[in-house]
Amino acid sequence: MPLLEIQKLTHRFAGLCAVSDFNFAIEPHELVGIIGPNGAGKTTVFNLITGVYRASEGSIKFEDQELVGLTPHKITRSGIARTFQNIRLFKELSVLDNVRIAHYGQIAYTPAEALLHIGRFRAEEKRITSQALDLLSIFKLDEMAGEKAKNLPYGLQRRLEIARALATKPKLLLLDEPAAGMNPNEIIQLMEFIGWIRQTFSVTIILIEHQMRLVMGICERIVVLDFGATIAAGLPAEIQNHPRVLEAYLGVEVTP
Partner 1 sequence: MAYIFQQSLNALQLGSIYALIALGYTMVYGILTMINFAHGDLFMVGAFFCFLIAVYLHLSFVPTLLLSMLGVAFLGVVIERFAYKPLRNAPRVSAIITALGVGLFLENFTLALSPYPKHIPQLLGNTTWTLGSLSLSSLQILIIALSLVLMLILDFIVQRTKAGMAMRAISWDKTIVPLMGVSVDKIISLTFAIGTGLGGAAGVMYGLAYPIIDPYMGIMVGWKAFICAVVGGIGNIRGAMIGGFILGAVEIMVAAFLPSTYRDVVAFTLLLILLIVRPYGILGKPQPQKV
CB of 127 to partner 1, least distance (A): 12
Residue number with CB closer to partner 1 (115 or 254): 115
Q: Where are the beta strands (DSSP E) in the chain?
A: 4-13, 16-26, 31-35, 57-62, 65-66, 80-82, 172-176, 204-208, 221-226, 229-234
Residues contacting residue 128 through CB under 8 Å, at least 6 positions apart: 100, 103, 106, 107
Q: Which residues of the shown chain bind partner 1 in the complex (CB under 8 A)?
A: 50-52, 71-73, 76-77, 81-82, 84, 88, 90-93, 97, 100-102, 104-107, 109, 111, 114-115, 121, 125, 164, 168
Distance separating alpha carbons of residues 131 and 128, to the nearest angstrom: 5
Residue number with CB closer to partner 1 (83 or 211): 83
CB of 210 to partner 1, least distance (A): 22
Residue number with CB closer to partner 1 (64 or 92): 92
Q: Which of 31, 22, 3, 44 is nearest to 194 (CA)?
A: 31
Residue number with CB closer to partner 1 (97 or 142): 97
CB of 192 to partner 1, least distance (A): 26
